[in-house]
Amino acid sequence: MADKLLTILALSGAIDVRSIEDAFGQIKQASGPAGLELDLAEVTDVDLTFVQLIESARRGAAESGTTLRLAAPAGGLVLETLQRGGFLSDPPDARTLFWAGVAS
């Protein structure tokens, strides 16, 4: 039932060092007490600043007891960036499970 209270934020376009401030603002504005679901289906390009932003939001949500989850497991360019950056090479933990769409 709590899932119905989640705010869904669809990010789109290129999210990189040039646009990360805008993405941060969108996430901050959409975040609420019930939590946030990120839809990355329309994201066309990312760099490591995107991964850092989402990782920071994920840790912040965990610390505050709110939910942050992905609408679908990371794929495409997001998955490639995670793999190139070594973010998925660890044994399964909260971070790797989050990007796999398993944990919130």
Residue 1: which pLDDT band, with cuts at 50, 70 and 90?
very low
- Looking at domain 2-99, what is its CATH homologous superfamily? STAS domain (3.30.750.24)
pLDDT in tens, 21-53: 999 999 999 998 889 999 999 999 999 999 999
H helix and E strand count, the chain: 4, 3
Average pLDDT, the chain: 91
Contact 87, 95 (CB under 8 A): yes
Residue 2: which pLDDT band, with cuts at 50, 70 and 90?
very low
Domain boundaries, the chain: 2-99
Contact 13, 19 (CB under 8 A): yes
The DSSP result for 70-95, as a single string, is ESS---HHHHHHHHHTTTT-SSS-HH
